[in-house]
Amino acid sequence: MSKPSPARYRTTNWSSYTASLRKRGSLLIWLDKEMTWLAPPDGGPGRPAVFSDAAIQLCLTIKVLFKLPLRQTTGMVASLLKMANLDWAVPDYTTLCRR
């Protein structure tokens, strides 16, 4: 029993094909300006956390999504915040690896 030959597709609408490839490469990240970026005081012993869990989770999600080291992750998050016109501080890579 022989294996059937794979179907061969020919592109006939190149403008649509090119547009779909461009659309596939676009990146959209939504940042909520109402998000709590800084951690609320917890009243416990020790040094209080500076950044909220949501801020740390955003940074670590970017890290995993783009397979970046922690130092490059902080740079990418800083550029994303700058593009979103948010003047929030970015967690240091040592903060990310501890939390």
Q: What pLDDT, on the 0 to 100 scale, is given for residue 41? A: 87
CB atoms closer than 10 angstroms to residue 44: 8
pLDDT band at 12 (very low <50, low <70, confident <90, very high): confident
pLDDT for residue 22 is more than 90: no
Distance from chain centroid for Cα 61: 6
Residue 8 has what DSSP assignment? -
Write out the H or E segment, with its range, that includes residue 43: none
98: left (phi over 0), alpha (psi -120 to 50) or beta: alpha
The pair of structure tokens assigned to 62 is: 């970017």
Burial class (CB in 10 A: 0-12, 13-18, 19+), 58: buried
pLDDT band at 55 (very low <50, low <70, confident <90, very high): very high
pTM listed for this prediction: 0.72
pLDDT over 90, % of the chain: 54
